[in-house]
Amino acid sequence: MAPSSGRRSAPSKEQLEDRNTVGINKETVTNTVSTDYPDHFLDEDHAWDVDHFRDNFHIQFHQNDQFDSQFSLIGLDASVANAFRRILIAEIPTLAIETVFVHNNTSVIQDEVLAHRLGLIPFQGDKKGLRDFLKPFVKPAEGADQYSTTFDFNTVCLKLNVECTHNKDADPNEKDPKKLYHNAHVYAKDIVFDPVGDKQPEIFSGEGIIKPTNPDILIAKLRPPQVINVEMHMHKGIGADHSKFSPVATASYRLMPTIKTLQPILGADAKKFQECFMPGVIELEKVTKQEASKKGSGYEGHQGELKAVVANPMHDTVSREVLRHEEFEGKVKLGRRRDHFIFSVESTGQWDSDELFIESVLTLKMKINKLKPQVTNMVRNF
Amino acid sequence: MPSRAKSPEDASMEDVAAAAAAQTSGQKPAVSMSGENVGGLEEDDLDASGEAAEPEVEDEEELQRVKILPGSSETAASFEFLEEGHTLGNALRYIIMKNPDVEFCAYSIPHPSEAKMNIRIQTYDTTTATAALEKGLQDLEDLCDVVSEKFWKARDEFNATKDTAMQE
């Protein structure tokens, strides 16, 4: 233990586990509030100590695909975990369509609805360019020229120009509009990137070109001779302003479920017990000779019978189904670990999901760094 | 605790809130808090030509977003943060509560349609409320460093095991 933590006496392992478990009963929850503060327990010091935190905090990855990752943060308080989650959703900037200039739109979709649909399409492009080259857009001052703050380093231009025409080669009996006409369906992939300035064509070229993450998003359906001809300006923004700027499809966490069997559950009961949970959570094992011969274990004389064993509580949904059955009363205790957060981050495509989490931590740090001089400044002027 | 409704503290708080509102609305820059924005020239400029682009950008950078609310003493103070919310409020509250010199710490968002977050800190006389706030910010930053360091390590390890598993 770190000497600087000044901890006077350590609580037992069971005590710690009890404190870290939120109890889940049939109709109620217990022990929901964290108690790791100084003066909460007599003779225990819970003062903040980085070294102590470093020793006790760890991260476990469960899945790490490009756009979908799951990992556990263990040894953290809910307030901090929640800060990361909130930043993921609302404060990490992404690029999205902000302004749509409608040159011509004879489709059945109204201009404003079309503009809204376009805004929600997620785009991707060269990561470095998106993160470092592009800067947030600053709105021009009132009365100033509309484009006085529009530059190649804060605006990306896109074009969408499609006209629906008859397909001369189509079979006369053809019923499928996609074969009967050209451009009957307008997809996200029909949007073209239109680089401006010196650097944009360089940065956003090849693999790094600005394009929709999902090319097959349907934007509109057309019939001859309908036309959509629009130009779009993309800006960088944050999810707090509009959810189209949110870099995540979902970013959520749940607490690690705990299932404790207090008495042996055997035979037919074990099977029923297993079915009360999600698949994989409870496994059935045979009672060994050793267990059966051990007095007071509850397994005496049950050698060879099936017993229920908690295998993987992480997959449980904590449905509390098991608490509805009389035969399990007093035999099982459900709970959740207060300091074990199973995060799930699903990216919309502009960032990799593991990068996103790191970015959320850095964003919180940046927030703090901006406030530090402010606090100093405040003291000077108080 | 005295009743909150009629205390003179609250009356003065309203004045300050009004002053802050006038300041943020950008129509008439009130007395500069940072001392860098002194002089009536800019005020005249604004009156004449609306808002020029230049000062607006500058304003954003130097806007004082933290202040001590009236009625505060050395060891018991309320701080008002502009443009902050639950994200920072709750995390900061937690880390300040972890400070053994702090007797009480809480945060609130007085009204959902105002981008303001208040933090109340009361300390024992071993430190001051401002010092506790500064320590809280520092501790939270240290926490962030540990999290990002450990996260990257865990990710690299996980990816490495995934790669070797795929090769086998």
ipTM of this model?
A: 0.89
Interval A244-303: pLDDT, tens: 999 999 999 999 999 999 999 999 999 999 999 999 999 999 998 888 888 888 888 888
Inter-chain touch B50–A54, beta carbons under 8 Å: no
CA geometry: angle at A21 spanning A20 and A27, to 5°? 150
Q: Could you give the CA distance from residue B150 to residue A341 in angstroms, rounded to a whole number?
A: 15
Non-local CB neighbours of B152 within 8 Å, separated by 6+ positions: A358
Q: Could you give the CA distance from residue A197 to residue A183 in angstroms, rounded to a whole number?
A: 31
Model confidence at A363: pLDDT above 80: yes
State how far Cα A292 lies from the chain centre.
46
Inter-chain touch A61–B158, beta carbons under 8 Å: yes
CA-to-CA dists, residue B70 to A174, A351, B25, B107, angstroms? 78, 44, 21, 16
Interface list for A 26-55 with B (CB within 8 A): 36-39, 45-48, 50, 53-54
pLDDT value of residue A298? 84
pLDDT value of residue A299? 87
Q: What is the pLDDT along chain B (168 residues), one digit of tens a residue?
A: 333 333 444 444 444 444 444 443 333 333 333 333 333 333 333 333 433 334 444 445 568 999 999 999 999 999 999 999 999 999 999 999 999 999 999 999 999 999 999 999 999 999 999 999 999 999 999 999 999 999 999 999 999 998 887 776
pLDDT value of residue A10? 75
* The amino acid at B6: K
Interval A22-75: pLDDT, tens: 999 999 999 999 999 998 998 888 999 999 999 999 999 999 999 999 999 999
Residue A334 phi/psi, 5-degree rounding, is -95, 150
CA nearest to A164, candidates A145, A144, A180: A180
Q: Could you give the CA distance from residue A51 to residue B5 in angstroms, rounded to a whole number?
A: 45
pLDDT value of residue B1? 39
Q: Give, for A113, the enclosing helix (H) or strand (E).
A: helix A111-119
Q: In the predicted model, what is the mean pLDDT of chain A?
A: 93
Cβ–Cβ under 8 Å, residues A55 and A77: no
Q: Could you give the CA distance from residue A377 to residue A342 in angstroms, rounded to a whole number?
A: 39
Q: Could you give the CA distance from residue A73 to residue A251 in angstroms, rounded to a whole number?
A: 14
Residue A240, classed as helix, strand or coil, is coil
pLDDT value of residue B165? 79
Please check whether residue A382 touches B, CB under 8 A. Answer: yes
Task: Give rounded-to-5 percent helix, strand, coil for chain A.
Answer: 30, 30, 40
| Mean per-residue pLDDT, A304-324 | 94
Q: Give the chain B residue nearest A78 (alpha carbons).
A: B91
Non-local CB neighbours of B72 within 8 Å, separated by 6+ positions: B78, B129
Model confidence at A380: pLDDT above 90: no
Q: Could you give the CA distance from residue A310 to residue A149 in angstroms, rounded to a whole number?
A: 61
Distance from CA of A156 to the nearest CA of B (A): 22
CA nearest to B27, candidates B15, B12, B42: B42
Cβ–Cβ under 8 Å, residues A226 and A106: yes
The least confident of A75-84, A134-143, B127-136 is A134-143
Q: Give the chain A residue nearest B95 (alpha carbons).
A: A48
- Percent of residues, chain A, with pLDDT higher than 70: 97
pLDDT value of residue B61? 56
Cβ–Cβ under 8 Å, residues B101 and B123: yes
Q: Could you give the CA distance from residue B18 to residue A125 in angstroms, rounded to a whole number?
A: 46
Cβ–Cβ under 8 Å, residues A336 and A51: no
Q: Could you give the CA distance from residue B152 to residue A64 in angstroms, rounded to a whole number?
A: 12
Residue A95 phi/psi, 5-degree rounding, is -100, 130
Q: Omega before B110 cis (within 30°)?
A: no
Cβ–Cβ under 8 Å, residues A360 and B122: no
Contacts of B68 in chain A (CB under 8 A): 378, 382
Inter-chain touch A141–B53, beta carbons under 8 Å: yes
Q: Give, for A308, the enclosing helix (H) or strand (E).
A: strand A306-310
pLDDT value of residue B62? 67
Contacts of B157 in chain A (CB under 8 A): 61
Q: Could you give the CA distance from residue A114 to residue A100 in angstroms, rounded to a whole number?
A: 9
Tokens of A108: 């059945």
Cβ–Cβ under 8 Å, residues A344 and A250: yes
Core vs surface per residue A326-337: b (16+ CB within 10 A) or e: eebeebbebbbb
Distance from CA of B108 to the nearest CA of A (A): 14
**What is the reported pTM?**
0.84
The least confident of A70-74, A139-143, A312-316 is A139-143
Tokens of A30: 């217990």
Residue A320's DSSP bridge partners are none
Which of the two residues, A299 and A94, has the higher pLDDT score?
A94
CA-to-CA dists, residue A188 to A96, A351, B54, B62, angstroms? 13, 19, 38, 41
pLDDT value of residue B19? 41
DSSP letters for A31-67: --S---STTSSTT------HHHHHHH-EEEEEEE-SS
* The amino acid at A360: S
Q: Could you give the CA distance from residue B86 to residue B110 in angstroms, rounded to a whole number?
A: 11
pLDDT value of residue A294? 84
pLDDT value of residue B164? 82
